[in-house]
Amino acid sequence: MSKTFKFLFFAALFVLFSFFEAPGATAFTPKAEIMPLNQIRPGMTGEAYTVVRGTEVVSFPVKVISIVPSEETPKHLILIKAEGPVIEETGGIAAGMSGSPVYINGKIVGAIGYGWNFSDHDRGLVTPIEEMMELWDWPDNVPGLKGLQLPVGVNKPETISSPVMISGLSTRAAQSVGESLDVKYQTLPSSGNLINLPVNMTPSLRPGSAVSALVAWGDVLVAATGTLTALSEDNRFIAFAHPFMNRGAVSFPLAEAWVHDVIPSLQAPFKIGTPRSIIGIVTQDRPQGIGGQLGRLAPSVDVSVTLRDVDTAKEHIKRFHMVQDPYLVAEILPDLVMGLVDNTWGQKREGTARIAFMVEGGGLVHGWQRTNMFYSNKDIAKDMLRETRELAKALTLNPFREISPLGFQIDVEMTHEPRVLLIQDVSVPEQPVKPGSNFDITVTLQPYREEAIKRAFTLTVPETARGLCEVVVRGGGIDEPVQESLLAGRRTIKNLEGLLQEIDAMERNNEVVVELECETDARPPWEREQKDTDYRLLSEIKKDKMEKGLMKVYQSNYYVDGLLRRDVQVLIQQKEAF
């Protein structure tokens, strides 16, 4: 991460960590009668409800073995043994059954949330319904309100976490997303185009129905499938009986899920489920489970990715939505794009890429775009997205204002050819140049295994130049100046427009940058006062150099590499005699 981006990133964190307390929600009351924990005894029998195929809710018998205390939330867990044909068919309690409600004598006691890997999978732990209802003691924080709540740590090493299904991505991209979200995941082939996932405002759900919490959906899918535990009269729900990512107050879409099957496994069986229709919003993600409301929609971020393969002359357009969570967008957006590139390009190798990264949304009337070129001699699909990651962080976490609605258009053009331009030579005047005069230089540029080309540039000598000047020719981004004024604390960026202006001023890899650096103080070093530091922002310094003819920038269609320096003698003017 560059120093400029690093400064902006931490400034953003400072603002976003200050957090706004919204009023808490009203108490959650399930439609079913509750059996409190203090009435549950070992030996009691009941029924658990879940989906093992399609959308049909089935049941299986359970027996209470013991009440297990815990030092963390939830504070108590009910140890059960599952039995019957359903459990025999699935191979035991499966990941994805988390949230399956358990009833004793027709009263709900809680939901299955935890189990053990590499064991007989007929044992499980039930989160008591009273503790799950505590989800609604917390305030919601749907985008549009100020502030963010940060995730709180939880350590439940033996859970039957609702499996996060990732599809449409390459293996390494799915792994990176799973690590970023800190979840267990399963990969699937592309689930088809879910960009137009239908919305159902009046779903027919009951405790035990399969539901999915969505992180990304469309040509890529990142979703956790679990089980609905309980509904209230006002269409609020609780599910999963354990955290999804434990992010506190969230705004994730909830979808009705279709369960394809339960896959047996020595580690732990797991459900394969995919979303069918969006039915509500998840607003709470806590140690006790997830909660939200049916018939209410979550805002989302729209992403469009155009992939052009120069070598095959083929173009592919991919689209997906993401949750409107600035931290998640900044963290996993580049991995989602990389996964699409991997699958579409069908190879992992060296190459050259041009990326146009456009942001659209509230307050950006004409949008904002940055285009850059990248080259890698190992893995272009991975290396080209490093700047995209920095841009996503700087924009989504900017400390000035929320960009909402928010959309990204990412245009990628790729070739395996090394489109590299090497700065080979620089010719400068042999005779001294006069202060205040213009002079020409010629830069020889060597495209990879092609004929060299020459480009002429005209620079202006400052009136106050003395002694030697130095012509510097370099590829954009090589030895680029840093934002000294920001790092020294002398200047600040005050608004989003200023932030975008400074990012615009950052050099691009396809640029040939030509600069003239001159000594303007004629006094000997021991007579000079300490030089004042230039506390202008980079955009201001660059604009001034361009206007004075001290800098020229040539935009090429190559990744430019190399740096050369050449001295130019400045003519010493004699004082007139009187």
Q: What is the pLDDT of residues 422-447, one digit of tens each?
A: 999 999 999 999 999 999 999 999 99
Residues 209, 254: Cα–Cα separation, whole Å:
12
In this prediction, residue 214 has a pLDDT band, given cuts at 50, 70 and 90, of very high
Residues 575, 578: Cα–Cα separation, whole Å:
10
pLDDT of residue 356: 97
In this prediction, residue 4 has a pLDDT band, given cuts at 50, 70 and 90, of very low
pLDDT of residue 59: 95
pLDDT of residue 261: 86
Residue 564 β-bridge partners: 473
pLDDT of residue 550: 97
Q: What is the pLDDT of residues 514-573, one digit of tens each?
A: 999 998 765 555 555 555 567 899 999 999 999 999 999 999 999 999 999 999 999 876
- Angle between helix 496-505 and helix 386-396 axes, rounded to 10 deg: 160
Q: Please tell me which residue, 191 or 92, carries the higher pLDDT value.
A: 92
> If you average pLDDT over residues 380-401, what whole number do you get?
93
Question: Which pairing describes strands 453-460 and 559-561: parallel, antiparallel, or unpaired?
Answer: unpaired
CB 77 within 8 A of CB 287: no
Query: Residue 6: helix, strand or coil by DSSP?
Result: helix
CB 222 within 8 A of CB 329: no
pLDDT of residue 20: 35
Query: Residue 543: helix, strand or coil by DSSP?
Result: helix
pLDDT of residue 192: 60
pLDDT of residue 142: 79
Q: What is the pLDDT of residues 275-294, one digit of tens each?
A: 999 999 999 999 999 999 99
Q: For residues 274-289, b (16+ Cβ closer than 10 Å) or e, as one string?
A: bbbebbbbbbbbbbbb
Query: Residue 329: helix, strand or coil by DSSP?
Result: helix
Residues 79, 102: Cα–Cα separation, whole Å:
12
pTM for the model stands at 0.84
Residues 457, 468: Cα–Cα separation, whole Å:
19
Kindly report the backbone phi and psi dihedral angles of residue 178, in degrees, each rounded to the nearest multiple of 5, phi listed first: -60, -40
pLDDT of residue 575: 53
pLDDT of residue 73: 83
pLDDT exceeds 80 at position 150:
no
> If you average pLDDT over residues 469-486, what whole number do you get?
95
Q: What is the pLDDT of residues 47-78, one digit of tens each?
A: 999 999 999 999 999 999 999 887 788 889 99
pLDDT of residue 281: 96
Looking at every residue in the chain, the average pLDDT score rounds to 87
pLDDT of residue 148: 32
pLDDT of residue 12: 37
Structure tokens at 297: 């929609």
